[in-house]
Amino acid sequence: MRKISKSCNTLAIAKFFRIIDTSDLRNLVNGYDFENPEFKLTTKELNEYSIIFDSIFYEYCDITENFKLKAIKRKEMLLSKWSFTHKIVSSLINLYDEHKQESTLKLLDDLKDPRFTINFDKPIEPQINAIVRKLKGLKNKIIIFKMKIAESVKSKKTETKMDLDRDALYLERNLDLKREIDPETTSISK
């Protein structure tokens, strides 16, 4: 089993920002060399590391009191949930249209979303039409939300674009630390 960084106390600053910039979760693995393209993660590891990084990310936001960054992450998660819901409901409606099997529509109940439920005691076709209209509204909401997130992220990147070595030298000089901060080895929390 690989040893990985699980908090701001153990993850190096440079690795954190590499993950932010590239979404490469291999940077959580201790000893990982980002110039080694052969190093791969399994699907299970990707899922596990994604959860760990989200935790580190929120910890970082709390340490830096950067609540705007935290809000952007939450919006991205909400967008993912909406996109997933749209894809599943669209697929189920298309399957129903193709095969006309009510059992397909019963799977909508598993989503536990009141907007997309079918009452089988009432005529189905008007309910399907209503769901299709709601799907169009959800699709528009997703598109608008994506544009807003992209604008937020773009403004945030231009606003906080940093050169870690330059910032480390600036901090060392002002705190008289005499070259103690190495972005590749210094933890985020320090």
Q: What is the mean pLDDT of residues 12-41?
A: 82
Residue 189, in any domain of the structure? no
Residue 73, in any domain of the structure? yes
For 12, the 3-state DSSP assignment is: strand
Span 146-185, pLDDT tens digits: 888 788 766 655 544 455 555 555 555 555 555 565 666 7
Instruction: Give the up-direction half-sphere exposure of residue 178: CA atoms within 13 A in the CB hemisphere.
Output: 0
Residue 87, in any domain of the structure? yes
Tell me the two tokens of residue 52.
């760990």
Residue 187 has phi, psi (to 5 degrees) of -70, 160
**Average pLDDT, whole number, for the chain?**
80
Helix ranges (DSSP H) in 65-123? 67-99, 102-106
Provide the domain count of the chain.
1
Tell me the two tokens of residue 65.
């009191």
Give the global pTM.
Answer: 0.54
- Angle separating helix axes 43-64 and 13-22, nearest 10 degrees: 120
Residue 111, in any domain of the structure? yes
Residue 72, in any domain of the structure? yes
- Between residues 92 and 62, which one has the greater pLDDT? 92
Closest CA to 23 of 68, 66, 73: 73
For 179, the 3-state DSSP assignment is: coil
Residue 136, in any domain of the structure? yes
Residue 101, in any domain of the structure? yes
Letter string b/e over residues 153-167, b meaning 16 or more CB atoms within 10 A of that residue's CB: eeeeeeeeeeebeee
Which residue range(s) make up the domain with 87? Answer: 68-162
Residue 92, in any domain of the structure? yes
Rounded alpha-carbon distances, angstroms, from residue 180 to 131, 165, 171, 176, 187: 60, 12, 10, 9, 12
Q: What pLDDT, on a 0 to 100 scale, did the predictor assign at position 92? A: 93
